[in-house]
């Protein structure tokens, strides 16, 4: 239905809050709930005074509640990416976010595994001196560490944040620093386990290639052993020509695993030339100097 022309003011904002909550919970009309929340925040403007006719309820409380309902409605529509910018259009800077709104944003972006969205916002809020005096500060700092900094591995930033917090005494600082240290150790163990698993995991193609090379090497060693055994048993029976030929073949097998490969052709050609030269030397007569009386 078309929104009626509500008059601006805190009373109207409280009525819009009630209507938005009904739309969210009872009717599950999330888009309409967001519209009511936006109208309520716009009607409040930047005021901070008490709301007439609503007891001790303040502008800030009504505005915070409107944003909480709006955040939930946006999340229900899977529009969580818009949440932070939507909230900041009413609070302008992160330091002015109410603790409840900041908590809800941290939990939301942590749940969707996008904690880095809250890095700067959370750091700005926690670094503000006025916020450090709030009773919710300790729980929000702990939440920010557990859901944002530590899951992202920002251990140095976490330690700096804790040490620079004037609201903590030495005992409280040591407690937080101990939590950070434990998280750092767990992070290091996970990285080591991941690295070990990656080293153990081999590509199927690499395994196949290694298997082929291993089989070829085994065949080569078997042939080498048989050749050496044969040479040791019958060396004295071999003429020099056969011994040289056997040496050439053995050298070829040992040096080149795959003589048929195109890359081995130049090498084999040179080896053949050396063999021919050696063979020519064997066939040529041996000239000895004449023996003098």
- pLDDT tens by residue, the chain, 293 residues: 444 444 457 888 999 999 999 999 999 999 999 999 999 999 887 544 444 444 335 789 999 999 999 999 999 999 999 999 999 999 999 999 999 999 999 999 999 999 999 999 999 999 898 998 999 998 999 999 999 999 999 999 999 888 887 777 788 888 888 889 998 898 888 888 877 777 666 555 555 655 665 566 567 656 666 665 665 555 444 455 555 555 555 555 544 444 454 544 554 555 555 555 555 554 455 444 454 54
Q: pTM here?
A: 0.62
Q: Which pLDDT score, from 0 to 100, does residue 230 have?
A: 62
Q: Which pLDDT score, from 0 to 100, does residue 252 have?
A: 52
Say if residue 211 is exposed, middle or buried (CB neighbours under 10 Å; 0-12, 13-18, 19+).
exposed
Query: Rounded CA gap, 101 and 96, in Å?
Result: 10
- 103: Cβ–Cβ under 8 A, 6 or more apart, which residues? 136, 139, 140, 143
Q: Tokens at residue 135, please?
A: 């009773």
Query: Rounded CA gap, 103 and 98, in Å?
Result: 9
DSSP structure class, residue 93: S
Q: Which pLDDT score, from 0 to 100, does residue 287 have?
A: 44
DSSP structure class, residue 145: I
In 3D, which of 141, 89, 68, 143 has the Cα closest to residue 111? Answer: 143
Q: Which pLDDT score, from 0 to 100, does residue 10 have?
A: 80
Q: Which pLDDT score, from 0 to 100, does residue 52 have?
A: 41
Q: Which pLDDT score, from 0 to 100, does residue 280 have?
A: 56
Q: Which pLDDT score, from 0 to 100, does residue 16 have?
A: 94
28 torsion bin: left (phi>0), alpha (psi -120 to 50), beta (else): left
């Amino acid at each position: 239905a078309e929104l009626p022309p509500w008059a601006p003011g805190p009373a109207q904002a409280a009525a819009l809050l009630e209507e938005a909550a009904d739309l969210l919970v009872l009717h599950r009309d999330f888009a309409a709930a967001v519209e009511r929340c936006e109208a309520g925040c716009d009607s409040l403007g930047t005021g901070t005074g008490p709301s007439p006719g609503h007891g001790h309820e303040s502008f800030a409380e009504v505005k915070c509640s409107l944003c909480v309902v709006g955040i939930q409605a946006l999340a229900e529509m899977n529009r969580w990416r818009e949440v932070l910018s939507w909230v900041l259009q009413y609070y302008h800077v992160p330091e002015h976010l109410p603790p409840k709104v900041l908590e809800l944003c941290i939990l939301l972006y942590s749940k969707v595994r996008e904690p880095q969205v809250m890095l700067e916002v959370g750091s700005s809020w926690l670094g503000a001196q006025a916020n450090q005096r709030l009773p919710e500060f300790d729980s929000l700092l702990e939440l920010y560490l557990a859901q944002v900094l530590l899951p992202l591995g920002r251990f140095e930033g976490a330690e700096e944040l804790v040490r620079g917090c004037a609201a903590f005494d030495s005992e409280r600082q040591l407690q937080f620093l101990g939590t950070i240290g434990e998280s750092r150790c767990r992070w290091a163990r996970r990285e080591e386990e991941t690295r070990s698993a990656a080293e153990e995991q081999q590509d199927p193609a690499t395994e196949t290639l290694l298997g082929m090379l291993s089989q070829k090497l085994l065949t080569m060693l078997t042939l080498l052993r048989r050749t050496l055994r044969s040479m040791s048993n019958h060396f004295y029976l071999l003429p020099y020509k056969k011994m040289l030929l056997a040496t050439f073949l053995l050298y070829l097998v040992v040096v080149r695993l795959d003589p048929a490969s195109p890359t081995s052709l130049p090498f084999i050609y040179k080896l053949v030339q050396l063999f021919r030269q050696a063979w020519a030397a064997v066939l040529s007569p041996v000239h000895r100097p004449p023996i003098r009386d």
